[in-house]
Amino acid sequence: MQRPTVVFATGQLLTEDVWAPQAAAFSHDYDVVVADHGRDDTIAGMAQRLLDAAPERFHLIAHAMGGFTAFEVMRQQPERVLSLVLIATLAPNDGPAQTERRQGYIRLVEAGQFDQVVEERVPILLPPDRRDDARLLDLVRRMADDTGAERFLAQQRAIMSRIDSRPSLSAINVPTLVIRGAEDGITTRAHQDEILAGVPHARFVEIPGCGHLPTLESPEMTNRLLRDWLAEQPT
């Protein structure tokens, strides 16, 4: 009997290492695929590459920018997705303030200051009481280094040009779980409420004391939530 597949969609400046605790936990029972978000500069391109690498049917678990890809997958080929998990993501496209911040990142990178971009993002990726956690800091910096300046620029272009996904939320008719760290410095509870209001019958879980990286900050709780969720879903 063919095993079910879980596809992980990753956020910007992150690599498959952001899913390491989940890959280790679920690879015994599921085929695990980490989508390649390093070669496209549009969300549509990332979504198509994800679909090309995935089997006919799969569970989709998306984090941050990966959520933008997931929304596009649900617009392109929703019939292939068995269930959807959205972690630390949001549905609107960028407003003027977000666009200006990203353009500032681009200017820094083009000036040869990619390392400064990474250091500016650390405080919003981790909650205040984890910003001195050497293990997490080293991992975040290593993933950013592995991503590199050119891929980061492509990711910024993709994010800046993405469409507003709120109008298409009501068309998502697969079981959907929304997860947010209570101390997330990027997404807000209002962002999650928009998704919950739009996606029929979506569930929500907030992880106390956790920031933007629940898969690494709270791997045991995240794994428990995902394991219980996947156990409920069709294969």
Stretch 207-212: mean pLDDT:
97
Domains and CATH numbers, the chain: 1-235 (3.40.50.1820)
Q: How confident is the model at residue 235 (pLDDT cuts 50, 70, 90)?
A: confident
Global pTM value: 0.97
- pLDDT tens readout for residues 102-132: 999 999 999 999 999 999 988 899 999 999 9
The whole-angstrom distance between residue 57's C-alpha and the CA centroid of its chain comes to 20
- pLDDT tens readout for residues 174-188: 999 999 999 999 999
Cα 196 to Cα 54: distance, rounded to the nearest angstrom:
26
For the record, the structure tokens of 86 come out as: 């959205």
Least confident among 35-39, 70-74, 80-84, 171-175: 35-39
In the predicted structure, residue 146 carries a pLDDT above the cut 70: yes
Query: 94: burial class by Cβ within 10 Å (0-12, 13-18, 19+)?
Result: middle
| Average per-residue pLDDT for the chain | 96
Q: At residue 7, what are phi and psi to the nearest 5 degrees?
A: -105, 125
Cα 117 to Cα 159: distance, rounded to the nearest angstrom:
16
The SS3 assignment for 213 reads coil
The SS3 assignment for 33 reads strand
Stretch 34-56: mean pLDDT:
96
In the predicted structure, residue 79 carries a pLDDT above the cut 90: yes
Q: How confident is the model at residue 1 (pLDDT cuts 50, 70, 90)?
A: low
Q: At residue 89, what are phi and psi to the nearest 5 degrees?
A: -130, 180
Cα 14 to Cα 133: distance, rounded to the nearest angstrom:
18
